Structure 1
Amino acid sequence: MKQTTIVFYVSVVIALLFITWGIIPESVLPHYNLAVVSSTVHAFLIHKFGWFYLLSATAFLIFCFVLIFSKYGNIRLGSDDEKPDYSYKTWFAMLFSAGMGIGLVFWGVAEPMYHYYEPPVGEGETAESARVAMRYAFFHWGLHPWAIYAVVGLALAYFQFRKKAPGVMSGVLRPILGKRVDGVTGVAIDTLAVYATIFGVATSLGLGAIQISGGLSHLIPAINNTITTQLMVIVIVTVLFMLSAQTGLDKGIKWLSDTNVALAALLMVFLLFVGPTNFIMDVFTTTLGSYLQNLSSMSLKLSPFEQSDWPRSWTIFYWAWWIAWAPFVGSFIARVSRGRTVREFIIGVLLVPTVFSMIWFSVFGGTALYLERFEQANIMKIMNDAGVEMALFAVLQHFPFGSLLAGIAIILICTFFVTSADSATFVLGMQTTNGSLNPANSVKFTWGIIQSVIAAILLWTGGLQSLQTASIIAAFPFTIIMILMVVSLLRAFRQEIGK
Structure 2
Amino acid sequence: MKKSDIDYFVTIVPFLLVSVLVLLFFIFPSQTSRLLGGIRSLLNNSLGIFYLIFGLFIFLLSIYMAFSKYGNIKLGGGKKEHSDFAWGTMMFTAGLAADILFYSLCEWMLYANQDRISSLGDITLWSATYPLFHWGPIPWAFYVVLASCFGFMLHVRKRTKSKYSEGLRVLLGSHVDGIAGKLVDLTAVFALIAGTATTFSLATPLLSQTVAKLFGLESNNILTIVILLIVCIIYSVCAYLGIDGVSKLASCCTYLFFALLLYVFFGGGHGRFILELGFKSLGNLADNFLSLATYIDPTGKSSFAQDWTVFYWAYWMVWCVATPFFIGSISKGRTIREVILGGYIFGLSGTFISFIILGNYGIALNVFGQANLLKMYNDSQNLYSTIGTIISSLPLPVIAMILLILTMITFYATTFDSITLVAASYSYKDLENKEPSKRIKLYWSILLILLPIGLIFSDNSMSNLQTVSIIAAFPIGIIMILLIISFFKDADMYLNE
Q: TM class, shorter-chain normalised?
A: over 0.9
Q: Is the CA contact 2:261–2:354 (under 8 Å) kept in the aligned structure 1?
A: yes
TM-score by length of 1: 0.93
1:142 aligned to which of 132, 136, 144: 136
How far the C-alpha of 1:24 sits from its partner, in A, is 2.8
Distance 2:400 2:376 in 1: 18
Instruction: Note the 1:153-164 alignment, pairs <5 A.
Output: 153-164=147-158
Matched, 1:174 2:172: no
Counterpart in 2 of 1:302? 296
Matched, 1:387 2:360: no
How far the C-alpha of 1:463 sits from its partner, in A, is 7.0
Distance 1:286 1:270 in 2: 22
Matched AA of 2:95: G
1:411-469 CA-partner distances (Å, limit 9, x unpaired): 11111122222222111102222463511111110011122233223324557443552
Counterpart in 1 of 2:58? 60
Q: Is the CA contact 1:175–1:491 (under 8 Å) kept in the aligned structure 2?
A: yes
Distance 1:460 1:440 in 2: 33
Matched, 1:238 2:228: no
How far the C-alpha of 1:25 sits from its partner, in A, is 2.1
SS in 2 for 1:301: coil
1:176-227 CA-partner distances (Å, limit 9, x unpaired): 111111111100111111111122213322233211111123333x211111
Q: Is the CA contact 1:200–1:468 (under 8 Å) kept in the aligned structure 2?
A: no
Distance 1:386 1:211 in 2: 14
How far the C-alpha of 1:340 sits from its partner, in A, is 1.4
Q: Is the CA contact 1:91–1:337 (under 8 Å) kept in the aligned structure 2?
A: yes
Distance 1:35 1:57 in 2: 27
Distance 2:430 2:105 in 1: 38
Counterpart in 2 of 1:199? 194
Matched, 1:416 2:411: yes
Counterpart in 2 of 1:82? 78
Matched, 1:450 2:444: no
1:205-252 CA-partner distances (Å, limit 9, x unpaired): 2233211111123333x211111211221222222222212221212x
Q: Is the CA contact 1:77–1:341 (under 8 Å) kept in the aligned structure 2?
A: yes
Counterpart in 2 of 1:265? 258
Distance 1:75 1:119 in 2: 46
Counterpart in 1 of 2:395? 400
Q: 1:259 to 1:155 in 2, by over 3 A?
A: same
Q: Is the CA contact 2:111–2:117 (under 8 Å) kept in the aligned structure 1?
A: no
Matched, 1:97 2:90: no
1:314-346 CA-partner distances (Å, limit 9, x unpaired): 111111111111102122212222221100000
Distance 1:469 1:20 in 2: 17
Distance 2:44 2:381 in 1: 30
Q: Is the CA contact 1:212–1:413 (under 8 Å) kept in the aligned structure 2?
A: yes
Distance 2:78 2:454 in 1: 45
How far the C-alpha of 1:306 sits from its partner, in A, is 6.4
How far the C-alpha of 1:296 sits from its partner, in A, is 0.8
Q: Is the CA contact 1:113–1:365 (under 8 Å) kept in the aligned structure 2?
A: no
Counterpart in 1 of 2:28? 25
1:60-97 CA-partner distances (Å, limit 9, x unpaired): 0101001111111110111xx32222211111111211
Matched AA of 2:26: I
How far the C-alpha of 1:305 sits from its partner, in A, is 4.0
Range 424-433 or range 18-27, more displaced: 18-27
SS in 2 for 1:327: coil
Q: 1:82 to 1:434 in 2, by over 3 A?
A: farther
Distance 2:137 2:430 in 1: 28
Q: Is the CA contact 1:195–1:471 (under 8 Å) kept in the aligned structure 2?
A: no
Counterpart in 2 of 1:113? 109
1:183 aligned to which of 174, 178, 182: 178
Matched AA of 2:15: V
Matched, 1:51 2:49: yes
2:18 aligned to which of 12, 15, 33: 15
How far the C-alpha of 1:273 sits from its partner, in A, is 2.0
How far the C-alpha of 1:355 sits from its partner, in A, is 1.9
Q: Is the CA contact 1:200–1:324 (under 8 Å) kept in the aligned structure 2?
A: yes
Q: 1:493 to 1:16 in 2, by over 3 A?
A: same
Q: 1:223 to 1:64 in 2, by over 3 A?
A: same
Distance 2:47 2:381 in 1: 35
Q: Is the CA contact 1:205–1:421 (under 8 Å) kept in the aligned structure 2?
A: no
Structure 1's unaligned 5+ residue stretches are: none
Matched AA of 2:256: L
Matched AA of 1:108: S
1:291 aligned to which of 279, 285, 290: 285
How far the C-alpha of 1:391 sits from its partner, in A, is 4.0
Distance 2:285 2:151 in 1: 30
Counterpart in 2 of 1:73? 71
Distance 2:460 2:292 in 1: 32
Matched AA of 1:208: A
Structure 2's unaligned 5+ residue stretches are: none
Matched AA of 2:35: V
Q: Aligned-pair RMSD on alpha carbons? A: 2.0
1:212 aligned to which of 207, 212, 216: 207
Size of the alignment, in residue pairs?
A: 488
Distance 2:58 2:135 in 1: 15
Q: Is the CA contact 1:23–1:463 (under 8 Å) kept in the aligned structure 2?
A: no
Counterpart in 2 of 1:348? 342
Q: 1:392 to 1:412 in 2, by over 3 A?
A: farther
Matched AA of 1:268: L
Matched AA of 1:444: K
Q: 1:276 to 1:472 in 2, by over 3 A?
A: same
1:285-315 CA-partner distances (Å, limit 9, x unpaired): 1111111111111111111246211111111
Matched AA of 2:191: A
TM-score by length of 2: 0.93
1:85-115 CA-partner distances (Å, limit 9, x unpaired): 2211111111211211311101102111222
Range 7-16 or range 358-367, more displaced: 7-16
Q: 1:463 to 1:328 in 2, by over 3 A?
A: farther
